[in-house]
């Protein structure tokens, strides 16, 4: 009995020698198992992290490959859109030049009408002043007739003459009024004609866009670039066959020779990208004549 408790263990004498051995062994095995479990958990976590990193690496590699493929397709599409946009920009510049020339002509017509209207107003003002002068003369004559009864016959004749003049002035006034009305009617007709011309221009532009925009494309074609402008009153033609080449200045005869050779080397595949710069100095007629003749003679679209 120790400390007031009865020792109930059997073989008390035999087990007293190993009472400290088994608890210590159990503790050691528990620690070993815990270490093994911790090592297993750490190993599983590391393997899971490695698998996750490998999956992310494969996903990133797949995304990079897909992005590279998309970028390649996008670059090819952008090159085609750039060529088409440059062609459309040239057409829009020619249309702008035509609109500017039409606006100048309309401005000149309006200035002429304003000048005629001003001249008519001045003539009408002068006629009114003459009428006022004649009316004043009539008044003076009437006063003189009232005061000089003895000169009734003479004054009557003078009054008759003045009445004839008044009739002539009224006729002149009516003629001037008719002329003003005619000018106003002509101005109205000119305004209507301008509106009709604008509607015709808009209609032609829509028809032109429908004819050109959907059909002609540089895709799959042999593309060359031609720039056309006017400097110092002289026409200047620049040409390059590939994008990495600098522009070369050619005469019209040299350009025809080069395009004829390219047309023979690339039958029905030659796409001519004609660029009219914003500061080309060309009129609409000059730019359109050059573009039309060049495309119809050499461009694939007009060889069908």
pLDDT in tens, the chain (304 residues): 445 544 444 445 444 445 555 667 787 888 888 898 888 888 899 888 888 888 888 888 888 888 887 777 776 677 777 888 888 888 888 888 887 888 888 888 888 888 888 887 888 788 778 878 878 888 887 778 777 777 767 767 877 887 888 788 888 878 887 877 777 777 676 666 666 675 566 556 545 555 554 467 888 899 999 999 998 889 999 999 988 889 999 999 999 999 999 999 999 899 999 999 989 899 999 999 999 999 999 999 988 6
- What is the reported pLDDT for 2? 46
Question: What is the domain count for the chain?
Answer: 2
- What is the reported pLDDT for 270? 94
35, 49, 101 from 42: Cα distances, Å: 10, 10, 84
Residues 256 and 226 grouped into a single domain: yes
Any domain includes 147: yes
Q: What is the domain range of residue 227? A: 220-302
Any domain includes 297: yes
Residue ending a domain, choose from 143, 178, 212: 212
Any domain includes 226: yes
Any domain includes 19: no
Within 8 A by CB and 6+ apart from 133, the residues are: none
Any domain includes 194: yes
Any domain includes 131: yes
CB burial class (10 A; 0-12, 13-18, 19+) of residue 226? buried
Residues 149 and 227 grouped into a single domain: no
Residues 257 and 198 grouped into a single domain: no
Residues 224 and 206 grouped into a single domain: no
Q: What is the pTM of this model?
A: 0.40
Any domain includes 72: no
**Cα(259)–Cα(290) distance, rounded to whole angstroms?**
14
């Amino acid at each position: 009995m120790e400390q007031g408790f009865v020792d109930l263990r059997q073989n008390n004498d035999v087990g007293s020698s190993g009472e400290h051995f088994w608890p210590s062994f159990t503790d050691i095995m528990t620690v070993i198992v815990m270490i093994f479990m911790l090592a297993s958990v750490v190993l599983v976590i590391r393997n899971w992290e490695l698998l996750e990193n490998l999956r992310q690496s494969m996903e990133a590699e797949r995304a990079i490959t897909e992005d590279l493929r998309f970028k390649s397709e996008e670059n090819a599409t952008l090159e085609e859109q750039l060529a088409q946009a440059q062609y459309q920009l040239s057409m829009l510049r020619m249309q702008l030049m035509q609109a500017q020339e039409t606006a100048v002509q309309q401005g000149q017509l309006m200035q002429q009408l304003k000048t005629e209207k001003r001249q008519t107003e001045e003539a009408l003002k002068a006629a009114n002043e003459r009428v006022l002068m004649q009316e004043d003369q009539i008044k003076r004559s009437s006063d003189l007739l009232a005061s000089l009864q003895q000169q009734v016959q003479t004054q009557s004749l003078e009054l008759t003459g003045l009445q004839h003049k008044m009739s002539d002035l009224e006729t002149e006034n009516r003629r001037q009024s008719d002329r003003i009305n005619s000018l106003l009617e002509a101005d109205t007709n000119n305004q209507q004609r301008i509106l009709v011309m604008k509607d015709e221009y808009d209609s032609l532009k829509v028809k032109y866009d429908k004819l050109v925009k959907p059909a002609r494309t540089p895709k799959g074609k042999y593309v060359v670039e031609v720039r056309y402008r006017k400097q110092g009153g002289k026409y200047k033609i620049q040409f390059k066959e590939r994008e990495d080449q600098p522009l070369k200045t050619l005469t019209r005869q040299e350009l025809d020779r080069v395009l004829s050779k390219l047309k023979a080397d690339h039958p029905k595949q030659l796409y001519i990208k004609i660029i009219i710069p914003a500061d080309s100095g060309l009129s609409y007629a000059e730019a359109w004549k050059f573009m039309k003749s060049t495309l119809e003679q050499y461009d694939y679209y007009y060889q069908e």
